[in-house]
Amino acid sequence: MKIYAFADEASPLIDGQIIALKENGLDGLEIRNVDNVNVSDISDAKAKEVRKKLDNAGLSVWSVGSPIGKIDIVKDNFDLHTEKFRRTLEIAEILGAKNIRLFSFYIPKDSDPSEYRNEVIDRLGKFLGIASETGIELCHENEKGIYGDNAERCLEIYKALPEMKAIFDPANFVQCGVDTLSAWETLKSYVKYLHIKDALPDGNVVPAGKGSGNLAYILSDYRKMNGTALTLEPHLKVFAGLSALETEGEKSSVGEIYSYKTNEEAFRAAADALKALI
């Protein structure tokens, strides 16, 4: 198995992220924040500096954990967001990443999601068209509050856009009240890789295998399908940049059951839990 990680949960600094990856025997990054800046906002010079440090450490960037698609489908400016996507592609190429993680847009609460289906498909299709000449694959993550927050709407996306790959995040499905085993059977043929994050029905994030995400079964089945890539996403302790990942009024249930003194300790616990499952 190739195990990558959101190592910004261990340290906001790239040097600290490299240390955490090496200490835990991991293969590289799904890169999200670099020296307290979101990866989609870094300069070419910073991207080259990060690439050089990772190369020297024998590590790689598997995927760019971008914020693309995490905008309000009604209120926010899609043209500006499309420019941000183009910039993210440029950064991904400098970093040597083969994948970009994205989302399918926040939709108004208490609305009928079907009203936004065509707009979601059109926007994601535009992203795929822009990325088509780069060789970089776009990977959609199921996330709370976006159009693709359940298995049925994720399936709509993958059927309408065969070039779009799936990232399967068990914890996010649990937090949306979705049965992960049913979701896995529905989506597994579209899945490129897994996010290793587990949760309880009350929303609390816990180490892999300690929650209701059925990670042991899903991981085993993924391996039977010759799946080889995983991204560790601990969410076991509040870290720099966590608030930026949440929508207004949302608060992640992090560190309420399993408590760790430092971010490095929480990261190590998450890595150890995953290794135990493997």
Beta strands in 142-268 (DSSP E): 165-168, 191-196, 198-199, 205-206, 229-232
- The 10s digit of each residue's pLDDT in 84-136 is 999 999 999 999 999 999 999 999 999 999 999 999 999 999 999 999 999 99
What CATH number should be reported for the domain holding residue 40?
Answer: 3.20.20.150
Task: Please state the rounded mean pLDDT for residues 17-37.
Answer: 97
Contacts by 206-212, CB closer than 8 A, 24 or more apart = 206/236, 206/257, 206/258, 207/236, 207/258, 207/269, 207/270, 207/272, 207/273, 208/270, 208/273, 208/274, 208/277, 209/273, 209/276, 209/277, 210/258, 210/273, 211/170, 211/171, 211/174, 212/174, 212/180
Sign of CA dihedral 152, 155, 156, 157: positive
Give the pLDDT confidence score for residue 238 in this predicted structure. 78
Can you give the residue range of the structural domain that contains 152? 2-277
> Could you give the CA distance from residue 14 to residue 33 in angstroms, rounded to a whole number?
8
| 42 within 8 A of 77, measured Cβ to Cβ | no
Inform me whether the pLDDT recorded for 257 exceeds 90.
no
Task: Please state the rounded mean pLDDT for residues 191-211.
Answer: 96
Q: For residue 8, what are the contacts with CB-CB under 8 A and spacing of at least 6? A: 17, 31, 32, 33, 34, 239, 240, 241
Give the pLDDT confidence score for residue 248 in this predicted structure. 56
Inform me whether the pLDDT recorded for 278 exceeds 60.
yes
pLDDT over 70 for what percent of the chain?
A: 94
Alpha-carbon distance values, 143 to 67, 87, 108, 246 (Å):
12, 23, 14, 10
- The 10s digit of each residue's pLDDT in 137-169 is 999 999 999 999 999 999 999 999 999 999 999
Q: Write down the number of H helices and E strands in the chain.
A: 9, 12
Whole-structure pTM value: 0.94
Mean residue pLDDT of the chain comes to: 95
Inform me whether the pLDDT recorded for 246 exceeds 70.
no
Question: What are the tokens at 278?
Answer: 């493997």
Least confident of 92-101, 139-148, 236-245, 258-267: 236-245
Q: How many domains does the chain have?
A: 1
Least confident of 34-38, 185-189, 236-240, 270-274: 236-240
Inform me whether the pLDDT recorded for 242 exceeds 70.
no
Task: Please state the rounded mean pLDDT for residues 165-185.
Answer: 98
pLDDT over 90 for what percent of the chain?
A: 91
Alpha-carbon distance values, 42 to 84, 89, 178 (Å):
11, 12, 35
β partners of residue 190: none
